[in-house]
Amino acid sequence: MGYFLSYYTYISFGCWVQNMLAAIIMLIFICFCVHFQNTAGQFFSSGHTNNWAVLVCTSRFWFNYRHVANTLSVYRSVKRLGIPDSHIVLMLADDMACNHRNPKPATVFSHRNMELNVYGDDVEVDYRGYEVTVENFLRVLTGRLPPSTPRSKRLLSDDRSNILIYLTGHGGNGFLKFQDSEEISNVELADAFEQMWQKRRYNELLFIIDTCQGASMYERFYSPNIMALASSQVGEDSLSHQPDLAIGVHLMDRYTFYLLEFLEDIHPASKSNMNDLFKVCPKSQCVSTPGHRTDLFLRDPGSVLITDFFGSVRKVEITMEAIHLTDPILQLEDGPMSEEVQEKTYSYVDQLPVSEIIHQKPKQKDWHPPDGFILGLWTLILLVFFKTYGIKHLKHIF
């Protein structure tokens, strides 16, 4: 403001046109500042600073080619939109590209007639083959890994990370089959996410599952900031797509196929939001009914960008302003200040204001009447009883 005044006094000496021009330029500049303020507000509205992805394919054997292709197509999209390999944990239960039965070795195709090779040249698989187990998956999520685990196998997320979790394989009502020998239940998964929440391992979580009866897997979630999508409801089967005669197997599942097509149109600067994602693969294309769950999520899904989870968009604000650091940094004096500090006692804020966040009513403790009152009440009842029915029964008690 002071700046403006001094300029104004200077102007009173100069040309009137120059005055107006300067005024107009100032106005525009202020408008831009305000606008930047707004977009900056939008920029930082999501609250995350980094992105992670955990992509899991749980089935092995050649006839489950499509599950590996599903996972690899999501991997490819996520990598293309910016999440680096160091932030992706890719778990593939079987090696389809180098399977003896693959007529095109070192490739995994997602489209018929071998249009799109999702295996590529730079895939990095973190957990492969028999390492994909329920235990390893849960350890990755919760971070309880032995100290010798390399960084590439860890989910090193913090409380400002947005995590995308994608699961595919064979599933049923309430469980997902891992490798033909074990299962993970929806309760286990929900508890794992709660552990993650309590350890502050995520800011927001997007959970996508493409299996039969996938909606049963997100029914039990109870931690905040989770949005879930599934390819089929309870009682429905997710169907496979893209039968390829040359390779001899189905190449993809329907939901992930249309998801891939949707993601191919997303680029790092696109503004598509979650509502568009919910519309992917309607019943006419998918035959099963995809479902989603947003009640645990704080923000409105319409304001959540796809790239919040699928990409790693760096929040960079370019400014032309020069910032003057005018005051030198002063050393703080010790001594009297520390005593002052010690006088005040601080306590930690409640770390788990879950009830505030999810707008739950506080759990009501049941009210019991005081003990003495109960004793008196019973005595009264007894006396009344004996009065009416005769005193001779009293001796049975005493």
Partner 1 sequence: MGLLSDPNRRRALISLLTRLNAPICVLCYFAAVCWFMGLSFEPFTLRTYMSENAMGSTMVEERFPAGERALATAKEFGAHKKKVGGMPVDWLVKTMQARGLEVFTQRFSRTLPFPDENNERYIVEGTNVYGILRAPRAPRTEALVLSAPCSPGDDNNQAVGLLLGLAHYFRNQVFWAKDIIFLVNEHDLIGMQAWLEGYHHTNTTGMDWSPLQGRGGSIQAALSLELSSDVVTSLDIVLEGLNGQLPNLDLANLFYAFCQKIGVLCTIQGRIQRNDWDSVSGYSHAVQTMMLMVMKQASGRSWGDHGLFLRYHIEAATIKGINSFRQYKTDATTVGRLLEGMYRKLNNLLERLHQSYFFYLMPSLSHFVSIGYYMPAFGLLAVILLLRALDLWVQLATPPSRNEDGVADIEQSSTGVLSVLTPLVISHLTGAALYMLPVRFQEMAVEHFQVSETEAVVLTAIAVYTGGLALPHNTHRLISGEGTEQGWRVLKLVAVLYLAVLLGCTALINFSLGFILALTLVPVASFVTPHVPKLLSAVVLVILSPAFTLLFSVFIFQELQEMPVSFQDGWMLYLSVISQGILDHYLYGSLVYPLIALMVYPCWLLFWNILFWK
Phi, psi of 268 (to 5 degrees): -55, -25
Distance separating alpha carbons of residues 68 and 83, to the nearest angstrom: 20
Distance separating alpha carbons of residues 107 and 99, to the nearest angstrom: 10
Under rule CB under 8 A, residue 243 binds partner 1: yes
Under rule CB under 8 A, residue 130 binds partner 1: no
Amino acid identity for residue 96 in this structure: M
The answer for residues whose C-beta is within 8 angstroms of residue 176's C-beta and 6 or more apart is 58, 167, 169, 170, 183, 184, 209, 211, 217
Under rule CB under 8 A, residue 102 binds partner 1: yes
Under rule CB under 8 A, residue 62 binds partner 1: yes
Our answer to whether residue 393 is catalytic in this structure is: no
Region of 228-236, 244-252, 327-335, 351-359 interacting with partner 1 (CB under 8 A): 244-252
Which is catalytic among the residues 48, 67, 111, 212? Answer: 212
**Minimum CB distance to partner 1, residue 81 (Å):** 33
Amino acid identity for residue 356 in this structure: E
Our answer to whether residue 57 is catalytic in this structure is: no
Under rule CB under 8 A, residue 249 binds partner 1: yes
**Minimum CB distance to partner 1, residue 186 (Å):** 25
Under rule CB under 8 A, residue 245 binds partner 1: yes
Under rule CB under 8 A, residue 235 binds partner 1: no
Under rule CB under 8 A, residue 106 binds partner 1: no
Minimum CB distance to partner 1 smaller for 84 or for 105? 105
Angstrom CA distances, 396 to 88, 377, 385, stand at 78, 20, 13
- Residue selected from 3, 13, 15, 100 as contacting partner 1 according to rule CB under 8 A: 100
**Minimum CB distance to partner 1, residue 127 (Å):** 22
Under rule CB under 8 A, residue 246 binds partner 1: yes
Catalytic residue ranges = 170, 212
